[in-house]
Chains A and B, each alone.
Chain A
C-alpha cells in the first residue's frame, strides 16, 4: 500500500502543460485534404473540362497556339470513319476476351477450390501472367506469332492452316485477344476464388446430404453465391478491354488496315502520333462515354443482386 501511495504521488506531481499547437484544430482537416483535392483538380477535373474545350480547337502544343475550329474536329473524326471502326473493334475485342476469360477463369477457380492439396501452386502458376510486365510478354507473343518460323505457325498453322496471324486483318485481333485472355484468366480466377471462399459451407453440406448431384450443388448453391464476383469480374474485364493498349502497340500497331485499332490505341495515335490534340479529344469523349456506361451497368447489376438478396 505504501508503494501504491508513492506511485499515486508520482502521478500527482505537476505535469508539463501541452506545447502550443501551431495548427488550429479547425484548419487541420483542410490542410490534410487540400493537397489531394488540388491534385485531383489539376489531373482529373480540369482535364475533364479541358477535353470538352479541346474538341472545338486546333491546338499546336509546340507553338502554343489555340485556334477555334468549331465542330470541325468532330466532323473530321466521323468523316474519317476511324472512330466507328474503333468502336466496333473495341466491342469485338471485348467479346473475344470477356466471355472466354470469365468462363475459363471460373473453371480454374473451381478446380483450384476443389483441391485438397497444391492449390496455392496452381494459383501462382495461373496468376503469373497477371504479375508480368505485359509489354515485355507481348514481345514474346509477337515472336511466337512470327510468320512461318514462329511457334504458332509451326503448330496451329500446320494443323489448321491459320498462318501469319499478326499480318492478317481477320486474325490480328484474335491474336491480340488471345494474349488478353492469357493475361486475364488468372485475374478472374483470383476474383472467383475470393468469391468461392464466401460460399456458405453448411449449405453445400446440406445439399450433399439431401443427395444433390455436383452439378445441382453448383447451380443452386455455388453459382448464386458467386453473383457479386461475377459482376465484379465482368466489369473489370470489360474496363480492361476498354484500356487495352500494350499488346496492340507492340504486336500489331493497330493493323493491318486498322483491323485491331481499339479506342485507346486510336487515342494514342490521334493525340500523340499524329499530334492531333483536338481529334484525340473527340476519341476521349467516346472512351469516357464507354467508361461511364460500364460503371452504370455495374451499379445496376449490383443493385439488382442486392435486391435478389444474394449479397
Chain B
C-alpha cells in the first residue's frame, strides 16, 4: 500500500479544485454576464458590480417577445431538427443494416461512397448544393435546411459499426423465423439500435439546432428562420445597441440546449463528443 491520502480534502486535491475553479470562471463568465445583462434594466447594464444582480427586471425579455418572432424561430428550429432526424433514421438505419449485414453486389462500392462522403465537410459542398437547391426553387424554405442533411454518412458509419458488433446470428434467427426485410428492420434492428440512435440523435439535434452557417447560405427571410439565423438577423436590424434585449435574446436561444444538457449530461457529452468520430 502507498502512504498517499485518499481523502477528497487532501491539500493536493484542494489545489486541483482551486485551479479548475479559476479556469471555470473564464468558461462560465459569458453565461453569467449574459443572464445578468438580460435581467438588468438598460441603464444599469454597464454600471454596478458585474458579479452581482442589481435591479431585476423582465423588460428585456418582454421586448424580445414583442419585437422578435422568437416563437416562430423556435418552431422552425424544432421542425427542422426533428425532420432531419426522422429522415436520417429512415434513410440511414436500413442502409447501415444492409451495409453491415446483407450481401449484395455493389456493397463495396456503396461503402466507399459513404466513406468518401464522410471525409468532406459540408462547408465544401455549400456552394454547389446551394446552386442545386436553387434549381429546384427551394431557397428560403425549410426543405433547404432539411434535405441536404438527411443522408448522413457519419450516421451510417456509426450505425454500421454498431450492427457489426451485434452477433450476426440474431439477424439469421430473424430470417429463419420468417421475418421479411421490413419486419427485421422494425421489430429487430430498430429496437436494438436505440442506444446508438439516442447518441446520434443528440449529436444531430445539437449540431442542427446550433447551425448558423447553412441557414445563412440558403435563407433570405424570416419565414423559415431557425433560432441562430433569426436572432442574428433581428438583432442587427432592430436591436442595434440595445444590449439588454440582445442578451435576453441570446439567453432565449441558448436556453433549450442548456436545459437539455443539464438534464441529460452524459448522453449530451457522448453525443457531441461523437462528432469526434467524424474523421476517424
Q: Tell me, yes or no, whether A and B come into direct contact in the complex with CB atoms closer than 8 A.
A: yes
The contact of B20 among A48, A111, A250, A268, by CB within 8 Å, is: A111
Q: Are B91 and A35 in contact (CB under 8 A)?
A: yes
Which residues of A lie under 8 Å from residue B164 when comparing CB positions? Answer: none
Distance between Cα atoms of A43 and B116 in the complex (Å): 13
Which residues of B lie under 8 Å from residue A239 when comparing CB positions? Answer: 121, 278-279
Distance between Cα atoms of A140 and B147 in the complex (Å): 31
For window 100-133 of chain B, which residues contact chain A by CB distance below 8 Å? Answer: 102-104, 106-107, 110, 113-114, 116-117, 119-121, 123-132
Distance between Cα atoms of A200 and B96 in the complex (Å): 33
Q: Across the A-B interface, how many residue pairs have beta carbons closer than 8 Å?
A: 296
Asked if B84 CB lies within 8 Å of chain A CBs, one says: no
Which residues of B lie under 8 Å from residue A47 when comparing CB positions? Answer: 125, 127-129, 132
Mark interface residues in B181-213 (1 if CB within 8 Å of A CB, else 0). 110010000000000000000000010011011
Asked if B83 CB lies within 8 Å of chain A CBs, one says: no
Secondary structure class of chain A's binding surface, majority of residues: helix
Asked if A59 CB lies within 8 Å of chain B CBs, one says: yes
Distance between Cα atoms of A197 and B262 in the complex (Å): 23
Distance between Cα atoms of A120 and B121 in the complex (Å): 32
Which residues of B lie under 8 Å from residue A203 when comparing CB positions? Answer: none
The contact of A191 among B151, B231, B276, by CB within 8 Å, is: B276
Closest Cβ of chain A to B26, distance in Å, is 7
Which residues of A lie under 8 Å from residue B243 when comparing CB positions? Answer: 143, 146
12 A-B contact pairs sorted by A residue (CB < 8 Å)? A29-B102, A32-B181, A32-B185, A36-B110, A40-B151, A47-B127, A131-B258, A140-B34, A239-B278, A267-B126, A288-B120, A295-B279
B residues whose Cβ falls under 8 Å from a Cβ of A: 2, 6-8, 13, 16-17, 19-20, 23-24, 26-28, 30-31, 33-34, 37, 46, 50, 90-92, 94-95, 97-99, 102-104, 106-107, 110, 113-114, 116-117, 119-121, 123-132, 134, 147-148, 150-151, 153, 156, 178, 180-182, 185, 206, 209-210, 212-213, 216-217, 227-228, 231-232, 235, 243, 246-247, 249-251, 253-254, 257-258, 260-262, 265, 268-269, 272-273, 275-276, 278-280
